Amino acid sequence: PEERSQFALLIIMSDAPVARKRGPFRVFFYRGIEVKKLMDLSQREFVAMLHSRARRRFARGRVSSKLIKRIRKAKKQAEDGQKPPVVKTHQRNMIILPEMVGSIVGVYNGKDFTQVEIKPQMIGHYLGEFSITYKPVGHGRGGLGGKGGKLMPL
């Protein structure tokens, strides 16, 4: 009788819905260092970890500190749990730094400003990589202007 009750319990437990425990967020690493630790590094220490083209730009002083200051100011203005206001810029060649993570930057694409939310995976890339400058072509449609209609004689 004791074995039957254990067997019955197993059947009852197997019918119950199982609440799956969700794992933690995946932590992003840049060159083996966690993003939170990257933010604690000085700019000189972080620049040493960048690729050679970016290191050269920082060494020559060709990085706009004005944009970084505006991003810091926007982050301070934001309330806790809220996204900071958009900081607009024409500087598509700005290298994304760890302190820019979480901010929203309006990157000019030649016509208007594309809003780009800076994520940890973007560190070390250029702002312009995330704001497309052209309208992708829709191939495979006939007619004038690719609208799908037949060609009309003039």
pLDDT digits (tens, 9 = 90+) for 126-148: 999 999 999 988 787 665 555 55
- Which residues partner with 105 through β-bridges? 87, 116
Q: How far apart are CA 85 and CA 106, in angstroms?
A: 10
The pLDDT value recorded for residue 117 is 95
* Least confident range of 27-36, 44-53, 101-110: 27-36
- Six-digit token pair at 131? 């704001």
68-72 mean pLDDT: 93
Amino acid making up residue 116? V
The pLDDT value recorded for residue 129 is 95
pLDDT of residue 57 exceeding 90: yes
User: Where does residue 126 rank: exposed (0-12), middle (13-18), buried (19+ CB within 10 A)?
Assistant: middle
- Six-digit token pair at 80? 């806790």
If you average pLDDT over every residue of the chain, what do you get?
83
Grade residue 23 by pLDDT with cuts at 50, 70 and 90.
low
pTM exceeding 0.75 = no
Amino acid making up residue 93? N
The pLDDT value recorded for residue 150 is 64
Amino acid making up residue 137? V
Amino acid making up residue 92? R
Q: How far apart are CA 94 and CA 62, in angstroms?
A: 9
